[in-house]
Structure 1
Amino acid sequence: MGSFSIWHWLIVLVIVMLVFGTKKLRNIGQDLGGAVKGFKDGMKASEEPQDKAREQIQSATAPADKTVDVQAKDVNK
């Protein structure tokens, strides 16, 4: 019950190719590659808002010389 040798894997590959055919295997590979690419793009896009949020937090905690002093008015009077 040891690990499979290269010959075992080659036989399995030949059987899979005979059952599914090369065209279907190529399509499966393209679909899998597209899914991985979409996942990477999604992860990259989800990181961008976090970077923007960090920039906003850093700008909100900026030194006093860059802050604007405002006075709030009560509009209910």
Structure 2
Amino acid sequence: MTTGEVKILNQGHENEMEVWGYRPCVWRLALVSVGAVCSGGLLLLLLYWLPQWGVKSTSSKCSLREARILLLRSKVLSVL
């Protein structure tokens, strides 16, 4: 099983970003579905507001080559 890797785009520039790869995981998706039913849909509302949590709770990390979902995070560089 390969571990997740982080790729940095535009390294050293103002718009630098980190990229992680994820692939859907059936048992995690089933667990979130059960949680959504038990919470009356409030879990789905939380995952809608925080999409990063939605990806991490329903998918597992993998290499960027195998990924079906990409999670991007911009890094703000302050220039003084």
TM-score where L is the length of structure 2: 0.26
Question: Of the two structures, which has the highest relative contact order with CA contacts closer than 8 Å and spacing of 6 or more?
Answer: 2
TM-score where L is the length of structure 1: 0.27
Quick check: which has more Rg, 1 or 2?
1
